[in-house]
Amino acid sequence: MTEPSRSRSAPRPRRLAASWRGIRTAAAIALVCTVLGACSGEQFQKGYILPPGALEQLPIGASQDQVLIVMGTPSTVATLNGEVFYYISQRSERPVAFMNQKVVDQRVIAVYFDKNRRVQRLANYGLQDGRIFDFISRTTPTSGQELSYLTPLFKLLSFN
What tens digit of pLDDT does each residue of 82-113 get? 789 999 888 888 887 777 888 777 888 889 99
**Torsion-angle region of 61 (φ positive above 0: left; ψ -120 to 50: alpha; else: beta):** left
Cβ neighbours of residue 20 closer than 8 Å, sequence gap 6 or more = none
Contact criterion met (CB below 8 Å) for 119 and 71:
no
Whole-model pTM: value is: 0.56
How long a stretch of residues is the chain?
160
Task: Read off the pLDDT of residues 24-63 as tens digits, 9 standing for 90 and up.
Answer: 888 778 777 666 565 567 878 888 888 888 888 889 999 9
Rounded mean pLDDT, 58-81? 88
Contact criterion met (CB below 8 Å) for 95 and 41:
yes
Closest to 137 measured CA to CA, from 150, 146, 124, 127: 124
Provide the pLDDT for residue 118: 92
Task: Read off the pLDDT of residues 2-25 as tens digits, 9 standing for 90 and up.
Answer: 555 555 555 566 666 667 777 888
Provide the pLDDT for residue 79: 78
Q: Which helix (H) or strand (E) holds 20?
A: helix 13-38
Residue 102 pairs with which residues in a beta bridge? 93
3-class SS of residue 140? coil
Rounded mean pLDDT, 71-78? 87
